[in-house]
Amino acid sequence: MYCWRALGRMLGRPQVVCVRTRNSMSLQEHNYWLTTTEFPAVDASQAIPEAVDVAVIGAGFTGLSAARTLAQRGAKVAVLESETIGWGASSRNGGMVLTGMKLGVNKLISMYGRERTQRMYAASLASLDCVEQIVREEKIDCDFARCGHLEVACKQKHFDDYARQAEVIAREFDHTLRVVQRHELSAEIGSTIYYGGMVDEVSAGCNPARYVAGLGRAAMKAGAQIYEHARAESIVRESRQGELGWKLETSRGPLWAHEVFVGTSGYTGRATPALKKKLIPIGSFIITTEVLPEALARELSPRNRMIYDSKNFLYYYRLTPDRRMLFGGRAAFFPETDQTVRQSAGILRRGMIDVYPQLSDAKIEYVWGGTLDFAFDIMPHAGQMNGMYYAVGYAGHGVAMATYQGQKIAELMAGDKPENPFVGIPFPGAPLGMYNGNPWFLPFAGAWYKLLDWVS
């Protein structure tokens, strides 16, 4: 089933090594989703064109969704990807296609007022429809299913807040969440450590690597050209034949583009220094178990929900379609390296067994990491910066929102006036400007969030 190219991609990734951890479990330091996915073949011999209408930087959900929409509108589009299609967070995530945003609704209303927050919440619901529509239209085989999500409370006061949140969300956004009392929780989760939960039936799950591979295929089908191993190194204003645009130096040669769209998320680098200074790259890590017996899998997650807990330093988990427990969290705050991935395997395994003692004998077969992009206000941001279009800042909530922002910003570039309440909101930088893109404060931030979880 898997072509040599897919195998090459898997083996070519630096993280593929066998790890022996302290309890002697032997596991693949490698992304499980990739073992299930065949990526589209890109013609590596194809030269970078001299000029295009739009250069899209980054071939994840954001960039590929934008490229698909722009190419469908007739634009000549070149997608520049420094690695391979979906190499970034888009193939490494938990595959939770979630409603809402990272910040709570009361916080959002205090920041943006009721009217804009209502539009933001509506956009978060529309972002799921956007993913579902693309999956259906492009026939992407990625196990997309509206299985709902479950948030579980780690403290009584977190649970007490659920009823208040559900009431605000019903009143302000006309969206129903169901609060689950502690004594009813066994119908949702086979763990006894939580104080209750809250279910949103609208959220979905998918295999993210298959989804991003399918999005890549769809962008190519629409006419976009994708260039892998083509890193954008610098971008400067330059006119060509009397037309104002951008000159890009790439690792595969120069390119002139009328417009540039940046979708580099947690991997934003030196080519876009102004954007890099607005984003904090934060590591997130995942382990998966061996395939579990059917009865055990049903006991752990009877309704097959996408689950996450109420902490700042949270755990998120779900069953994979082939019945592995996939368990993730910010085990280390730093982005993925051999060392942080290796450390995370042990931390996450202990976390998983705290939640599910039933898994103490389950073999861990895969561990990997990826980088999230947090803005300083923990909000998604999109629009134009220094003349370039961009969409970033998903804060671990990007499967649906990145797809949606890619599409909406592409529509804006094509001359439409799409509804997008995230365009034009203030995009704060670091307090006192104490950040040049090198996140020196991550250890302090990690300690701060652990402290917050302890006291709040």
Ligand X SMILES: Cc1cc2nc3c(=O)[nH]c(=O)nc-3n(C[C@H](O)[C@H](O)[C@H](O)COP(=O)(O)OP(=O)(O)OC[C@H]3O[C@@H](n4cnc5c(N)ncnc54)[C@H](O)[C@@H]3O)c2cc1C
| Binding site residues, ligand X, CB under 6 A | 57-63, 80-83, 87-90, 92-96, 98, 231-232, 263-267, 269, 271, 284, 286, 328, 370-372, 394, 396-399, 402
Do 239 and 245 contact (CB within 8 A), yes or no? Answer: yes
Residues 6+ apart with CB under 8 A from 25: 349, 363, 364
By C-beta, is 145 or 163 nearer to ligand X? 145
* Closest by CA position to 267, among listed 341, 368, 380, 372: 372
By C-beta, is 16 or 182 nearer to ligand X? 16
Find the residue with minimal CB distance to ligand X. Answer: 398
How many Å apart are CA 152 and CA 198, to the nearest integer?
7
By C-beta, is 35 or 182 nearer to ligand X? 35
- CB 405 to ligand X: min, Å: 8
- CB 308 to ligand X: min, Å: 8
Do 59 and 224 contact (CB within 8 A), yes or no? Answer: no
- CB 294 to ligand X: min, Å: 24
- CB 193 to ligand X: min, Å: 21
49 by DSSP, 3-state: which?
Answer: coil
By C-beta, is 32 or 267 nearer to ligand X? 267
By C-beta, is 300 or 331 nearer to ligand X? 331
- Please name the residue that has the structure tokens 């479950």: 150
By C-beta, is 98 or 300 nearer to ligand X? 98
By C-beta, is 58 or 196 nearer to ligand X? 58
By C-beta, is 183 or 209 nearer to ligand X? 209
How many Å apart are CA 84 and CA 9, to the nearest integer?
8
Tokens of 423: 């365009």
- CB 295 to ligand X: min, Å: 26
- CB 261 to ligand X: min, Å: 11
Task: For helices 105-137 and 156-173, give the axis angle rounded to 10 degrees.
Answer: 70
Element containing residue 373 per DSSP (H, E): strand 364-375
- CB 182 to ligand X: min, Å: 25
Tokens of 292: 């579990």
- CB 446 to ligand X: min, Å: 16
343 by DSSP, 3-state: which?
Answer: helix
- CB 127 to ligand X: min, Å: 9
Write phi, then psi, for 28 (nearest 5 degrees). -85, 125
Element containing residue 150 per DSSP (H, E): strand 149-152
- CB 114 to ligand X: min, Å: 25
- CB-based burial of residue 389 (10 Å sphere; 0-12 exposed, 13-18 middle, 19+ buried)? buried
By C-beta, is 182 or 445 nearer to ligand X? 445
Do 98 and 198 contact (CB within 8 A), yes or no? Answer: no
How many Å apart are CA 138 and CA 379, to the nearest integer?
29
Residues 6+ apart with CB under 8 A from 303: 147, 148, 150, 187, 188
By C-beta, is 173 or 315 nearer to ligand X? 315
Bridge partners (DSSP) listed for residue 116: none
- The whole-angstrom distance between residue 147's C-alpha and the CA centroid of its chain comes to 18
By C-beta, is 82 or 225 nearer to ligand X? 82
How many Å apart are CA 106 and CA 169, to the nearest integer?
9
- CB 160 to ligand X: min, Å: 26
- CB 445 to ligand X: min, Å: 16
Bridge pairing between strands 26-29 and 364-375:
parallel
By C-beta, is 61 or 246 nearer to ligand X? 61
Q: Where are the beta strands (DSSP E) in 11-92?
A: 18-20, 26-29, 51-57, 77-80
Q: What order do you get walking across the sheet with 18-20 strand by strand?
A: 18-20, 26-29, 364-375, 279-289, 325-329, 315-319, 306-309, 149-152, 196-200, 178-181
